[in-house]
Structure 1
Amino acid sequence: MATYFVGDVQGCYAELQQLLDLAQFNAQQDELWLTGDLVARGPQSLDVLRFVYSLGDRATTVLGNHDLNLLAVAAGHALPKKKDKTENILTAPDRHELIHWLQNRPIMAEHPTLPVMMTHAGLSPQWDLATARHCAREVETLLRSDQGTWLLGHMYGEEPSHWDPRLTGLPRWRYIINSFTRMRFCRNDGSLEFKCKESPADKPDQLAPWFEVRKADADEPHLVFGHWAALMGKCPLPKIKALDTGCVWGNQLTLWRWEDNAMFSLNCPVYSSGE
């Protein structure tokens, strides 16, 4: 049995299947972990959802910002965007089953036996691991409750950008969701900045990548994340794997195998011209 981690698929189903074949993924024996953003921008989001759902316990995916937006659209709290190419999900005969399954995915996942964890965008520099775990469980519980659709309609916004453990209610939940699904850069004080989506080499001086600001404990598990295509898989920290390599923008889809540290990449066509 092998454990595979793949970056943001964003509806690139054909490319995902080619990459899994390249890596000799065995759906009957192996595990597939996905960094979120299963849907949007690529042409086959419905096929991606159905495939990951069909893997059952063999697949673990976390919620990404595009996944949450699809849930908000399905709940009637946001309008579908033509560029997201998710209309056929909303009219599919198995729509309710897939949407229910997606809404019950974690926002942070930890492997039960291996020292590795996964989120879509990373971990806030203002959190230790215990806080991150607590915050993830808090929002996951809310999304799965009767208040879940309410939260999907009120999660949008960029404030607060700074963590305070005294935060309550919507400001607290919005910060948690933004940290796990939208974060890239931080200011010097650790607060989140959402406008800049460039690579670290092209950033303004007052910003730093979240992973350079966060002080991780030495015994923390390895962290796998996606979301940040401009990194093209480059992260200077040995225990952090950046796996979004911009497949939907015409770059690559990337897969990492835990057991032997093997990396697999597949060149992809351009499906979208911007975020």
Structure 2
Amino acid sequence: MATYAIGDIQGCHTPFARMLDLVHFDPACDRLWIVGDLVNRGPESLRVLRALRDLGDAAVVVLGNHDLYLLMIAAGLKRRLGDDTLYQVLEAPDRDELLHWLARRPLMHVAGDHVLVHAGLLPGWTVTRACALAQEVSDTLAGPKARDFLLQLAGNRPERWSDKLKGWDRLRVIVNALTRLRFCSADGRMDLSAKGAPHKAPAGMMPWFRVPDRFSRTHTIVCGHWSALGFYREPGLIALDSGCVWGGKLTALRIEDDAVFQVPG
């Protein structure tokens, strides 16, 4: 049995299928860890969703910001123009089934000393604390207030976590940290507008994984989201977004032995 963590697919079904062939993936005994951003910008979001849904328990999928954006649009949020390629999902005959499946994916997955999350963790969160907060979001997405929540989710504020936060502000900070985080200050204030390489951090900010003594150093974080960072490893971090949708590569890492596999986007 092997476990393959795969970076942001973003609707690029052909590279994803090539990756499964490359690693000789066997759903009867192997497992996939998908870091989120299954959809959008790429040409085949619908095929990606169907393929991962059909893998059942052989694929562990955490939600990324583009996946949540799809759920927000389906709930009635006004769509942005530009590189949004979600129409094929929204017009599909099995749309409701796919959206139901997607909304019930977690925001975090923990297995041993590895954590699967789309973007990152705030420096003051232990893995246990982050899991509990992620579950609050999952419970809301599966509950009667899911649509209200999705329509309130957009925005960058509050910029930092507080245990005193309640309601939509509380859930929005959790989602922004887990699915959009790149840069933050040492005390956990997020800058969600900066998207450049780590050396281009805004004043007073740093990559979230470089914050000294962050509480999640007990685990290896497996994430994506940051195409300007690319495929990158350091102790405690495996970053897998190598820009497949931008003409880069789709990257997979086998957890058991750190073997790396790549296919062109």
Partner of 1:33: 33
Q: 1:177 to 1:217 in 2, by over 3 A?
A: closer
Letter of the structure 2 residue corresponding to residue 165 of structure 1: D
Partner of 1:202: 200
Q: TM-score, normalised on structure 1?
A: 0.92
**8 Å contact from structure 2 (residues 124, 215) kept in 1:** no
Partner of 1:61: 61
Partner of 1:259: 256
Aligned length: 265
**8 Å contact from structure 1 (residues 73, 80) kept in 2:** no
- Write the distance in 1 (CA, Å) between the matches of 2:205 and 2:82: 32
Partner of 1:17: 17
Q: How do residues 80-91 of structure 1 correspond to structure 2 at under 5 angstroms?
A: 81=81, 83-91=83-91
Q: 1:214 to 1:138 in 2, by over 3 A?
A: farther
- Write the distance in 2 (CA, Å) between the matches of 1:76 and 1:21: 38
- How far apart are residue 25 of structure 1 and its match? 1.3
- How far apart are residue 163 of structure 1 and its match? 1.2
For structure 2, list consecutive stretches of 5 or more residues without a partner in the other structure.
none
- Write the distance in 1 (CA, Å) between the matches of 2:250 and 2:135: 29
Given candidates 235, 238, 248, the residue that maps to 2:235 is: 238
- How far apart are residue 64 of structure 1 and its match? 0.5
- How far apart are residue 214 of structure 1 and its match? 5.8
Partner of 1:78: 78
Partner of 1:108: 108
- Write the distance in 2 (CA, Å) between the matches of 1:218 and 1:207: 18
Q: Find the residue that maps to 1:102 and give its secondary structure.
A: helix
Q: Find the residue that maps to 1:230 and give its secondary structure.
A: coil
**8 Å contact from structure 2 (residues 124, 214) kept in 1:** no
Letter of the structure 1 residue corresponding to residue 50 of structure 2: R
Partner of 1:272: none
Letter of the structure 2 residue corresponding to residue 129 of structure 1: V
**8 Å contact from structure 1 (residues 80, 87) kept in 2:** no
Q: 1:85 to 1:126 in 2, by over 3 A?
A: same
Q: TM-score, normalised on structure 2?
A: 0.95
Partner of 2:131: 133
Question: Cα RMSD over matched residues?
Answer: 1.6
1:11-44 Cα deviation digits (max 9, x unpaired): 0000001112112211222101100000000000
Letter of the structure 2 residue corresponding to residue 186 of structure 1: C
Structure 1 segments of 4+ aligned residues over 6 angstroms from their partners: none
For structure 1, list consecutive stretches of 5 or more residues without a partner in the other structure.
269-275
Partner of 2:247: 250
- How far apart are residue 205 of structure 1 and its match? 4.1
- Write the distance in 2 (CA, Å) between the matches of 1:75 and 1:217: 35
Seq. identity, %:
43
